[in-house]
Structure 1
Amino acid sequence: MARRLTFAGVEDSQRLRGSGPRARAAAVRFEAVDPTSPAAVWAVGRYFAEIGRRFGFDPSAEPDDGAASLAAPGGCFVLAVSAGAAVACGGVRTIEDGVGEIKRMWVDDAWRGAGLGSRLLLHLEQTAHALGHHIVRLDSHESLTEAIALYGKAGYRPIGRYNDNPHATHFFERVPRPRP
């Protein structure tokens, strides 16, 4: 990637506050990046900090952060970028032939409620479809009520436990929507 992304998503986004939230969210670009890049590591750090606050998750207790599984060719990590700053992220990884999983989906607090989460979820589904997945799964924790509501609104249906994530309490699946 030739452009340098900044890591102060909230501060850099302040310039755009004059426009409506949906207009700001619609102007965000999605960029596939190496999941070990500084901008990706920063965004995932924000994700881990939030889930740590919400339900006590401690990423330092995990032996592997899962970044390698979100790298090409079997995966893809995406940053949502506004004014050169990462304001959201998420990734897709292959969990079995034809089945992908969305991981590490996070939207900065300053960007919530503007439709960016829905746009990011759709983009990740389309990425999963492009990777050859005919089913997309994801998991969540019961305290992440906004995420669970988003997944239901997007057409995800509850399924039984499909992984060994000890922090997940809800499991979902849907057929991904291809790019138009």
Structure 2
Amino acid sequence: MEDATAVVRRFNRAYTQRIGALEESFLGLGLPLGTARLLFEIGSGPTTTQKLRARLGLDSGYLSRLLRRLEDDRLIAVKPDPQDRRRRCVGVTEAGRRRWRELEERSEERSEERSEDRARRLVEPLSARPRARLAAALAEADLLVRAATVTFAAVDPAGPVAQAAVGRYFAEIGRRFGFDASGEPEKDAADLARPRGILLVACDDGEPVACGGVRAIADGVGEVKRMWVDDAWRGAGLGSRLLLEIEAAARALGHRSARLDTNGALVEAIALYERCGYRRTARYNDSPWATHFFEKALDPADG
């Protein structure tokens, strides 16, 4: 862990410098990138410091420093919320509105061009082979960072997010095994809803990239269902993370063991289950599609 952390920190220092994230004048506006980004959020509509922290993932101290700079430049005003004095409302001043418009105009005109030019200058000194290595390494790093930071959320199994995710699961099953999966996503919706079960979905840029759930099939026994990871996200450890999240949800529902079924053709899935401690067991259902059955004890100490 320490070695990986050191590598990430070293990369962050070098990369942020080279892509211009540390420049004091983003798009020539006299504001560094972080401050300009905050102004853009505030100028998009009145908000609160609490909402800004959540939306941008900033800690209170750093956000306070950025807000102070914008206040000192008379671009924003921070005032107590008249309906709740514990909250602070944030809005742009007239000067801030003008700067916001300028930021938006310059972003539209120059951001893509500047970004492409900077990327081109970054790779120009490299010959073809190192350039290809860099592209492959950055693609891998991008996938791993996104996989490490994506979060799983419980969703309504009958809702649009769940149906989109489970629909992709069945689309893949249909492609691999040659059957019509229309109508399948709705089948287990009731069983995957609380209190009988739960369905977890991970999204990236609004699109589902993984899903999985658990439903009760006997006293203290939960069945893992609809476990799916998008093809483009495989190999980044997302499947293992998802299975751990499902197991934690199963424990929270009071299950002492987890079962699942799969097909022998899904060798990657079988390898994942075995790595995660699942052991083969006797057939426990009459699914004509399933050929392999697994079970794992859910030790409360692991939750």
What TM-score comes out, normalization by structure 2 length? 0.51
Aligned residues between the structures? 165
Paired position in structure 2 for 1:149 = 271
Deviation at 1:84, TM superposition (A): 3.0
Q: 1:3-152, aligned counterparts within 5 Å?
A: 17=139, 19-60=141-182, 65-152=187-274
Q: Is the 8 A contact 2:170 2:185 kept in 1?
A: no
Residues in 2 aligned to 1:175 and 1:162: alpha-carbon distance in whole angstroms: 16
Paired position in structure 2 for 1:170 = 292
Q: Is the 8 A contact 2:257 2:298 kept in 1?
A: yes
> Could you say what the CA RMSD is over the residues aligned between the two structures, in angstroms?
2.0
Residues in 2 aligned to 1:64 and 1:84: alpha-carbon distance in whole angstroms: 21
Runs of 4+ in structure 1 over 4 Å off: 61-64, 177-180
Deviation at 1:148, TM superposition (A): 0.5
Deviation at 1:55, TM superposition (A): 1.4
Looking at secondary structure, tell me which structure has more strand per residue: 1
| 1:107–1:59 distance in 2 versus 1, CA, 3 Å | same
Deviation at 1:115, TM superposition (A): 0.2
Residues in 2 aligned to 1:18 and 1:83: alpha-carbon distance in whole angstroms: 18
**Rg larger in 1 or in 2?**
2
Residues in 2 aligned to 1:32 and 1:62: alpha-carbon distance in whole angstroms: 20
Looking at secondary structure, tell me which structure has more helix per residue: 2
Q: Is the 8 A contact 2:211 2:226 kept in 1?
A: yes
Q: Percent identity?
A: 62
Any gaps of 5 or more consecutive residues in structure 1?
Answer: 1-15
Q: Is the 8 A contact 1:136 1:175 kept in 2?
A: yes
Q: Is the 8 A contact 1:91 1:124 kept in 2?
A: yes
| 1:146–1:95 distance in 2 versus 1, CA, 3 Å | same
Residues in 2 aligned to 1:53 and 1:86: alpha-carbon distance in whole angstroms: 19
Residues in 1 aligned to 2:179 and 2:154: alpha-carbon distance in whole angstroms: 26
Residues in 2 aligned to 1:104 and 1:57: alpha-carbon distance in whole angstroms: 17
Residues in 2 aligned to 1:26 and 1:157: alpha-carbon distance in whole angstroms: 27
Deviation at 1:60, TM superposition (A): 3.6
What TM-score comes out, normalization by structure 1 length? 0.85
SS in 2 for 1:68: coil
SS in 2 for 1:43: helix
Residues in 1 aligned to 2:282 and 2:252: alpha-carbon distance in whole angstroms: 25
Any gaps of 5 or more consecutive residues in structure 2?
Answer: 1-137
Deviation at 1:57, TM superposition (A): 3.6
SS in 2 for 1:47: helix
Deviation at 1:67, TM superposition (A): 1.3
